[in-house]
């Protein structure tokens, strides 16, 4: 994956004024999405939809850090690169997040199906990651 600076140069991220309100809104939205997700039934049939929702939790919470820092991303890869370079994500969290990004793209653009166990895995991951990242913002 490219550096965050490369995404800036490619205009896949724009420098803007820091937006604490947007950052807070994205964080709250990610928390609400996760709460909702945990109340939805999970089966082999619904696994792709639950996977996408769990990935959105991840994207929203990471994007909240960009909003707070004054960046508007137009690329999920840029969001992950920022998380890695700023130490928001550990290397292993970054690698898992990027793998989930690729799977989510395959679901959205190639009709890939995922197993219930894969959806359970990402839901568990974001359930553990969200409180950790939330505490960093406090």
Measured CA to CA, the distance from residue 38 to residue 98 in angstroms comes to 22
Domains of the chain: 18-137 (1.20.120.330)
DSSP for 36-80, please give it: HHHTS---TTTHHHHHHHHHHHHHHHHHHHHHHHTEEES-HHHHH
CB contact at 8 A, 106 and 112: yes
Stated pTM of the model = 0.94
Task: Work out the angle at residue 119's Cα, subtended by the Cα atoms of residues 116 and 123, and round it to the nearest 5 degrees.
Answer: 140
What is the SS3 assignment for 1? coil
Predicted confidence at residue 138, as pLDDT, reads 56
Q: What is the pLDDT along the chain (138 residues), one digit of tens a residue?
A: 899 999 999 999 999 999 999 999 999 999 999 999 999 999 999 999 999 999 999 999 999 999 999 999 999 999 999 999 999 999 999 999 999 999 999 999 998 999 999 999 999 999 999 999 998 865
């Amino acid at each position: 994956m490219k550096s965050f600076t490369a995404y800036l140069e490619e205009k896949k991220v724009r420098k803007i004024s820091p937006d604490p309100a947007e950052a807070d809104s994205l964080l709250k939205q990610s928390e609400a999405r996760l709460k909702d997700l945990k109340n939805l039934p999970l089966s082999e049939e619904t696994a792709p939809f639950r996977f996408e929702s769990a990935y959105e939790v991840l994207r929203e919470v990471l994007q909240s850090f960009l909003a707070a820092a004054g960046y508007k991303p137009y690329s999920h890869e840029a969001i992950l690169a920022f998380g890695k370079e700023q130490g928001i994500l550990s290397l292993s969290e970054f690698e898992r997040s990027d793998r989930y990004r690729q799977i989510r793209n395959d679901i959205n653009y190639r009709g890939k199906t995922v197993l219930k166990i894969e959806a359970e895995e990402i839901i568990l991951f974001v359930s553990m990651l969200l409180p950790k990242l939330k505490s960093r913002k406090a």
